[in-house]
Structure 1
Amino acid sequence: MNPHKLTLMTVGGLLTAMLSGVMFAAPEAAKGAADKPAFPPLAPLGAVSDPVDNRMTPEKIALGKQLFWDNRLSGDGSMPCVSCHLPTLGWGDGGQISRGYPGTKHWRNSQTVLNSAFYNKYFWEGGVTSLEGQAPAAAEGAVAGNGDPSVMEMRLRHIPEYVTAFKQVFGSEWPRMNDAYRAIASFERTVISDANKVPFDRHANGDASALGEPQARGMQLFNGKAGCIQCHNGPLASNQKFYALGVPDLKDYQDDNLLQITHRWEIYQKGVPESEYRDGKTDEGYYYVTHNPKDKGKFRVPSLRELKYTGPFMHNGAFKTLPEVVAFYNAGGGKAGNKAELLKPLKLSEDEQKDLAAFLEALSMDEPLVMDAPTLPPYAPLPAVADKE
C-alpha cells in the first residue's frame, strides 16, 4: 500500500480538521449517577487550537517545516527535529529508546509528533506545557539536539532566505531562536491524523461499516470489561494524568554505562538529591518534576492514536507490539511500589485480547501520514561592509 502523502494544510483547513483516538488502562469502567459514563467518551477531536500568542499563518507553518528538517538547529549539525521524529516511522524514530546526541545515550522512547497539538503536557514526565516550550527543550537539551541557541541563531542569520522569511513572518530584522521555536510549533500543529482515514473516526461520525466485527467487539471491551476508558478517554484518548504501571526496565538499563551517565546527569540537573543521583538506576518519571516521592515511577498517559505506526510502546519502548501491551495490562501490569490502583488482572481470553488489539489499530489511519522533505536554503556570505575613509 502506498503511503498517503500530505502537503501543508491551509490554516483554514487545519482549524476545521476532525480527529479521534483510543487505548487502555485497567478494570471495568464505572458509571456515575443516572447510569451516565463516569469518564469522557471517546470521540473525534475538535479543531486545533490557534494560540493567541502564536497565531498560525501559512508562511509561519512553511518556515516551521523547513526548520523542523534543518540539521543546523542542533549542536553538531546531525540532530534536527526530524532525526527523532521521522514521518516514515510514525513521526517517532522506530527504536526502543530515542537516539541520543553523539556521545550520549538516551533512556526513553521517542514520542510521536502526530496529534501532539492536542496535548497540554509534553515529554513522558510532563515537564513542558506547550509545543513552544517543547521545541527548545529538545533542540537545546544536552542528550537531544545539544544546540547552543546563540550559535544556532547565528547560523540562521547567515542564510539569506531565512532572514527574509523571519522578517516577513515575525517582522524582525534578523532570525531569533524564540521565533524559530514558535514557527516549529506552528508546523507541528499541522501534523495531525486525517479523520476520513481513521476507522474509529469514521464510525464515530456515522459510518456503521467502518469497524469490522473484531474491532467492534474490541471497542466494547475497551469501554467495559477491559476498562481502558478509565485512563484513555475523551477525544485524545488520554486523560493526561500520571500513573505508575510497573513497566519492566530494559535488559541493559542498569548495566549500560553510557546510558547511566546521561540519565544520572539529566536527573541531577532536575534537582534530585545526591543520594538518588548516585543510585539512579531506575527512571522515576514524574518524580523528577514534582520531587514528591509519591510520584516515583509515574509517566503521562499517552494518546492511543496511530498505534499501527508508532511502536515500540511505553516510556522505554519495552513492548514491540500491541498484543504484548494488551497482555501486560491483562496481567494487571508489572511490579511497582506505588502502582496505580486501577491496575488489576483483566481476565481477558485470548480471543478478547485479539479483539482489543484490533480495536486499538482502528484508531490509526489506513495509511501512514508522510510528507515530502522541504528544500533547505543554503548559507551565503554576509554582504561586505565598506571600509571607512
Structure 2
Amino acid sequence: MNKIISRNTIASAVALLMVGGTAVAGDKFPPLAPLPPVPIPADNPMTPEKIELGKMLFWDSRLGGDASSPCVVCHEPSKGWGDGGEISRGYPGTQHWRNSQTVLNSAYYNKLFWEGNVTSLEAQAPAAAEGNVAGNGDPSLMEMRLRFIPEYVERFKKVYGAEWPRMTQAYGAIAAFERTIVSDAKKVPFDRYMNGDKEALSASQLRGMKLYNGKAGCIQCHNGPLASDQKFYALGVPENEVFQTEPLYQITHRWEHYQKGTTEKVYRGANYDYGYYNVTRNPKDKHKFRTPSLRELKYTAPYMHDGIFYTLEEVVDFYNVGGGEAVPNKSPLLKPLGLTDAEKQDLVAFLESLSMDEPLLMDPPKLPPYAPLAVKK
C-alpha cells in the first residue's frame, strides 16, 4: 500500500498487456487490462491510521456548510459510491447541475470531475466540500469544528504530528481513504479472465469483448486498465429536461456559467453545459466531457454527465446510432455501428464483466462527539 508508483511505470506495464479480439485502427489504443497497484503520491503516503481518519471524515457531516452534506451523501456505498440520481442532490436549498460520479477507482484518474478541472484526489476533496452547490463548507469553520472534537485532535496529532487539525490534512486523509475504494480483481470476471481463468467469461461476454475491441469501437476511448483514456469528447448527449422545467436547476445552470466566467449573454440564455470549455476557454472544447471509466457499471447508473440514461442498453443504443445530435465539436469517432440486437446484448454482457460480482459495501464508522475546550481563567 505504501509503495509509490509513477504513472510512467504504470503506463509502461500496461502497454505490455494485451486482450483478445480484433482492435480497431491497428491496435493503436492501450488494451484493456487488470488494474495495476494504486498510484500513491509521495507527499501523501498511506498509513492505516490516516485511512481510518479519512473514512471517518468521509462520513462526517460536520465537513460541510450546515452539517448536512458529508462526502457520503453524494457517494453512498449502497448506490455504487454515487448518489443514484440523475443529477447530484446539491446543497440544501440549491440543486446541482451534473451527475454525481462514483468515487470507485477514482484513485486511478489524473483528471477528476466531468470537466477534468482538478488533477488529484487531494484537490477534489476541497472542491466538493467547499463548492457552493455541493458541500458549501467554509474551511475555517470546518477546521474549527474539528478542533472541538477531542478524538479528532488526537487522531490528527497521531497521523500528522500537529497540535491542531488542519483542513489540508483532512483533505489528505479523505484522499487516502478514497484510494482504498477500488475494484477487487479477484471479484471482477474480466480481471479473472485476464489473469488466467479462461472460464471467467461466458460465450456471450467473449463475443462482446470482440465487439468492444472491433466493430463497436469502444476501445477507441475506453481503453487501458481503467477503461478510460481520460480525454474529452463531445457526444451530443441529450440535455436533461429538468434544466428546461425546474427553476432550481435553471438557477444553478446559469450561476455555474456566470461563476465560471462566461459572458452575460451566455449565462442569461444558458441552455446547455459547456463542459471542458469551462477549463480551457477554447471554443473547440464546448460540449466535451472527460471519458468516464467503464468499471463497475453494474452498480453506478445512471450514466452520462447529466444522468440521462438509466440502463446500459440505453447507452449502447445511443452509440449504435452514432451518438446524439450534431452539436459543435461532436467527435468524428461517433458513427452508426450497425450492431444487431444479439450483438448489443453481447456487448452489454461484456460491459457487465468489468464490474465485481458483488458491490463494494462498507459500514459507516462511529463518529466522535464535540466537547468544550477548557477555558483558562
TM-score, structure 1 as length reference: 0.91
User: Does the 8 Å contact 1:29/1:228 carry over to 2?
Assistant: no
Give the one of 364, 374, 381 matched to 2:365.
374
Give, in whole Å, the separation in 2 of the partners of 1:166 and 1:60. 8
2:24 is matched with which residue? 29
Give, in whole Å, the separation in 2 of the partners of 1:268 and 1:360. 38
2:304 paired with 1:352: no
1:153 is matched with which residue? 143
CA deviations 1:272-302 (Å, max 9, x no partner) are 1222111111111111111111111000000
1:84-99 superposed matches below 5 A: 84-99=74-89
1:10-159 superposed matches below 5 A: 11=1, 29-31=24-26, 37-159=27-149
User: Does the 8 Å contact 1:98/1:106 carry over to 2?
Assistant: yes
2:19 is matched with which residue? none
Indicate the SS of the match to 2:297: coil
1:329 is matched with which residue? 319
Change (3 A) 1:325 1:247: same
Q: Which amino acid aligns with 1:341?
A: P
Consecutive unaligned residues in structure 2, runs of 5 or more: 15-22
Give, in whole Å, the separation in 1 of the partners of 2:255 and 2:164. 35
Percent identical across equivalent pairs?
Answer: 69
User: Does the 8 Å contact 2:99/2:304 carry over to 1?
Assistant: yes
Indicate the SS of the match to 1:370: coil
Give, in whole Å, the separation in 2 of the partners of 1:45 and 1:138. 26
CA deviations 1:324-375 (Å, max 9, x no partner) are 0000000000011221000000000000000000000000000000011111
Give, in whole Å, the separation in 2 of the partners of 1:75 and 1:173. 24
Give, in whole Å, the separation in 2 of the partners of 1:238 and 1:325. 16
TM-score, structure 2 as length reference: 0.94
Q: Which amino acid aligns with 1:160?
A: P
Q: Which amino acid aligns with 2:281?
A: H
Indicate the SS of the match to 2:244: coil
2:17 is matched with which residue? none
Indicate the SS of the match to 2:233: strand
Q: CA deviation at 1:254?
A: 2.1
Indicate the SS of the match to 1:299: strand
Q: CA deviation at 1:12?
A: 5.8
User: 1 or 2 for the larger relative contact order (CA 8 Å, sep ≥6)?
Assistant: 1
Q: Which amino acid aligns with 1:30?
A: A
Give, in whole Å, the separation in 2 of the partners of 1:43 and 1:90. 22
1:278-357 superposed matches below 5 A: 278-335=268-325, 336-357=327-348
User: Does the 8 Å contact 1:272/1:291 carry over to 2?
Assistant: no
Give, in whole Å, the separation in 1 of the partners of 2:85 and 2:185. 27
1:212 is matched with which residue? 202
Give, in whole Å, the separation in 2 of the partners of 1:46 and 1:60. 22
1:25 is matched with which residue? none
Q: Which amino acid aligns with 1:110?
A: S
Aligned residues: 362
Give, in whole Å, the separation in 1 of the partners of 2:188 and 2:37. 16
Give the one of 141, 153, 159 matched to 1:163.
153
Give, in whole Å, the separation in 1 of the partners of 2:242 and 2:260. 24
Give, in whole Å, the separation in 2 of the partners of 1:355 and 1:302. 21
More helix by share: 2
Q: CA deviation at 1:14?
A: 11
Indicate the SS of the match to 2:289: strand
Q: Which amino acid aligns with 1:330?
A: N
Q: CA deviation at 1:64?
A: 0.3
User: Does the 8 Å contact 2:4/2:41 carry over to 1?
Assistant: no
Give, in whole Å, the separation in 2 of the partners of 1:14 and 1:354. 40
Give the one of 356, 374, 377 matched to 1:383.
374
Give, in whole Å, the separation in 2 of the partners of 1:167 and 1:270. 38
1:201-240 superposed matches below 5 A: 201-240=191-230
User: Does the 8 Å contact 1:243/1:299 carry over to 2?
Assistant: yes
Q: CA deviation at 1:165?
A: 0.7
User: Does the 8 Å contact 1:14/1:47 carry over to 2?
Assistant: no
Q: CA deviation at 1:233?
A: 0.4
Give runs of ≥4 in structure 1 deviating > 3 Å. 11-15
Give, in whole Å, the separation in 1 of the partners of 2:178 and 2:357. 21
CA deviations 1:117-164 (Å, max 9, x no partner) are 000000000001000000000000000000000110000000000001
Consecutive unaligned residues in structure 1, runs of 5 or more: 1-10, 21-27, 32-36
